[in-house]
Amino acid sequence: MTWSPSSWREKLYAQAPPYESPDELRVAEQRLAALPPLVTSWEIERLRGLLAEAQAGRRFVLMGGDCAETIAECSSAAIAAKLKILLQMSMVLVHGLQRPIVRVGRFAGQYAKPRSRVTECRDGVELPSYFGDLVNRIEFDPEARRPNPSHLLTGYQHAALTLNFIRALVEGGFADLHHPRQWDLSFVRNAALRPQQREEYERMSQNLADGLKLMEALGEARIEELSRVDFYTSHEGLNLYYEAALTRRVPRREGYYDLTTHLPWIGDRTRQLDGAHAEFFRGIQNPVGIKVGPGATPGEVAELAERIDPKRQPGRLMLITRLGAQGVGEHLPGLIEALGDRPVLWVCDPMHGNTRKTGGGVKTRSFGDILTELERTIDIHEERGTWLGGVHFELTGEDVTECVGGSGGPTEAELGRNYASACDPRLNYQQSLELAFVLARRLRR
Ligand code: PEP
Ligand code: CO
């Protein structure tokens, strides 16, 4: 079958948003199709080049952000806090890996969520589930939960606002955020750390700060230029009406680009070989991620890789494994073997295979499980001679209490203090930074 930006419409669309009015949907799609793109083809091509280097072991990718971005949280403070934590984690990782880090945010469009149930029942009332702000709203009332095609436009606008602010910070006012004086490493002084750990982290952060100061003093470069902090955007390419409306040809380049984001990924629930998502994403020029959960067979994943990347183009394909601390040992070796010598960028998402409910019914993840999956993943890649080229976290720059553990993190009983996620539990600022330290230390070996 020949590909076109609408050939996916002939395929089974898993997780299709249950819009009621095709007319309303068409109006929103047409309006979107007339609006300017959010990202450009040259940014996408630059990222693909960086991902190709990461595949080859010369770079490392840090992906992170909210499980579900929301319109309500599209604020200066929340965006700056996300950039700050990603930046600080990346600086810790540079130090440990001695390789440049590619920063990719789950932001400026991470507004669409797959759900296990189409409807949600509360006290005998049944309404559509919350599918992310691109589709409906989280409040449990009939109008908020109605899948509303005009939210496609609202989502686009807020993605644009987010991106505009990120671009402005990157261009100018961001330097102070990564100035050594601004390093808030208070968790390093946290009493719960073992003395040896604390000493090591303090040494690492001091080295980092010294290195930055030295380079600045030598006049090598201003700090902001040194790490000329590029941030790339990514989101789950779940809502194909949205993706397709912004998928276009550009002057002097071959093919079509999905201009909603630099790096869209296909979720674990929508990666069916003959499904609409595989069909859509096989035809675009962007690099594409595929989430791979424990339900995927190695053969299936190899076929999907062939479908999405038949030309074996460097930087094109990212496999994001999310197998769980328990499942990774069983599933990852087979996947690595099935992919053979195909160029893929292996990324570990240690979040989605480790979600559980507390006795009180609260969705959480343990810092310990997250770390265990990461460490086992690293071990397995080391044993097989493949390179783990990146990590993918759900995190926020704020002091939320959603995941348990870490040296200063909340216990299950403390989760209620500031549980703010619209979907899955995220690592908070301290947990994220601590994870970066542990990872840097482990990957240095
Ligand atoms: C997600 O990244 O929020 C998500 C839904 O992941 P997965 O497709 O891996 O379950
Ligand atoms: Co999630």
Identify the CATH assignment for 7-20+41-117+153-444 out of 3.50.50.60, 3.40.190.10, 3.40.50.1820, 3.20.20.70: 3.20.20.70
Give the number of other CB atoms < 10 A from CB of residue 175.
16
Domain-by-domain residue ranges, the chain? 7-20+41-117+153-444
> Looking at this protein, which amino acid is placed at residue 5?
P
Find the 104 Cα to ligand 1 centroid distance in Å: 16
The number of residues in the chain equals 445
How is residue 118 written in tokens? 């189409």
What is the distance in angstroms between the CA of the first residue and the CA of the last residue of the chain?
Answer: 48
Ligand 1 neighbours (beta carbon < 6 A): 67, 114, 236, 267-269, 291, 293, 322, 352, 424
Give the CA distances from residue 46 to residues 42, 237, 286, 307, in Å, rounded to whole numbers and listed in that order: 6, 20, 10, 23
Relative to the alpha carbon of 289, which ligand is closest? 1
Protein residue with its CA nearest to atom 2 in ligand 1: 67
Q: What is the enclosing helix (H) or strand (E) of 29? A: helix 22-34
> Looking at this protein, which amino acid is placed at residue 163?
L
- pTM listed for this prediction: 0.93
Give the number of other CB atoms < 10 A from CB of residue 274.
9
Q: Are 279 and 240 in contact (CB under 8 A)?
A: no
Please choose from 66, 235, 268, 391 the residue to mutate so as to test ligand 1's pocket, defined by most ligand atoms within 8 A of CB: 268
Quote the longest CA-to-CA distance of the chain: 68
Query: Which class for 143: exposed (0-12), middle (13-18), buried (19 or more C-beta within 10 A)?
Result: exposed
Find the 281 Cα to ligand 2 centroid distance in Å: 20
pLDDT of res. 186: 56
Give CA angle at 63 (62, 67), nearest 5°: 150
Please report, for the chain, how many H helices and E strands are present, in that order: 13, 14
Instruction: Tell me 20's DSSP state.
Output: S
Instruction: Tell me 257's DSSP state.
Output: E
Q: Which residues of the chain have pLDDT under 50?
A: 175, 177, 180-181, 191, 224, 226-227
pLDDT of res. 191: 46
Instruction: Tell me 404's DSSP state.
Output: B
CA distance 156 to 139: 21
Relative to the alpha carbon of 114, which ligand is closest? 1
Instruction: Tell me 275's DSSP state.
Output: B
Q: Are 75 and 420 in contact (CB under 8 A)?
A: no
